[in-house]
Structure 1
Amino acid sequence: MMTNSNESEVGVGEGTRVFLNFALTLEDGAEIDSNFGGDPVDFAIGDGSLLPGFERLLFGMQPGQRQLFSVSPEEAFGQPNDNNIQVIKRDQFDQDLALEVGLVCSFADAAGGELPGLVVAVDDSEVTVDFNHPLAGRTILFDVLVHRVEPAELH
């Protein structure tokens, strides 16, 4: 029976699975994502579900604890990088595609995955595409409520 009392004392850390509700908002109050009002999500610490900067903030939190964190751009989605803005020849795009500022296009990256890019300028010969994360340079408010913490199962 000691396992029940010990489980309730397990805090978030390496080797744990966390069940939580969260909300991500910008400093101006604009909501990015939230699962409050729904079932908690769960993930194992270190499995890549959360950015490391967000994950570290959870360490030591106990079941039932709710906290609001302010996450700097460096710990969240990084600062915008001018190298991530690329000029691509217009003829590299499908001629039927209505290119306009604000359009998000999907490009193949070097590893064969998909990389979204935001069209920021278009003229007859060139298209300027911003590959920075849309939240780069933004401070994110991370509201988290931990429901349960348990040892992560090793696979």
Structure 2
Amino acid sequence: MQIAERTVATFHYTLTNDAGAVLDSSSGGEPLAYLHGVGGIVPGLEKAMEGRQVGDKFDVVVSPEEGYGTPNDMLIQVVPREAFQGVDELAVGMQFQAQTPQGAISVVIAKIEDGMVTVDGNHPLAGQNLHFAIEVTDVREASVEEVLHGHVHGAGGHHH
């Protein structure tokens, strides 16, 4: 069976950056399962998975535009230290939830200088090429429930 819409694909992956540093991997753990065609993985990888089958091993480079996007300057803000009331210690790399008119987003402290804190709401991998090494381990038809819910259900079903 080939990966196509309304199939569940399971795969092992190793994700590296342009320098070859490993950013994430399923090695030594469970493979990742996703419902194909609903945007459960980055678009460039989903396109590369189309038509693949069990046993396929391949490498793909996903551009920022087909991955986590290009950095959006509108998601970078400089706020006063006082905006972090109740937080004694701040450090670059710390993550917080910020409230926006569109809802909560995750932000990371990018810089702290002169009582001002620069926060970045871009995905940490925005602007980066994503190098995936893939091994497809399973492909099956999605259940009606999975298709209706838009995601994979685990063994024994999924309860909302």
* Alignment TM class, shorter chain as reference: 0.7 to 0.9
Percent identity for Structure 1 against Structure 2: 36
CA displacement at 1:37 relative to structure 2: 3.0
SS across alignment from 2:79: strand
Q: In the alignment, which residue of structure 1 is the partner of 2:44?
A: 53
Distance 1:50 1:112 in 2: 22
Regions of 4+ moved over 6 Å:
none
Q: In the alignment, which residue of structure 2 is the partner of 1:105?
A: 96
- Verify: 1:34 aligned to 2:25, yes or no: yes
* Larger CA deviation: 78-87 vs 111-120: 111-120
- Verify: 1:153 aligned to 2:124, yes or no: no
- 1:85 pairs with one of 48, 53, 76: 76
Unaligned runs of 5+ in 1: 1-9
Distance 1:132 1:114 in 2: 9
TM-score by length of 2: 0.79
- Verify: 1:74 aligned to 2:69, yes or no: no
Closer, same or farther: CA 148–96 of 1 in aligned 2, 3 Å: closer
Unaligned runs of 5+ in 2: 146-160
SS across alignment from 1:117: strand
State the structure with more CA Rg: 1
Question: Contact 1:109–1:115 (CA<8 Å) still a contact in 2?
Answer: no
Distance 1:58 1:50 in 2: 10
Q: CA RMSD in A?
A: 1.9
TM-score by length of 1: 0.82
- 2:13 pairs with one of 22, 45, 57: 22
* Larger CA deviation: 114-123 vs 52-61: 114-123
- 1:129 pairs with one of 91, 112, 119: 119
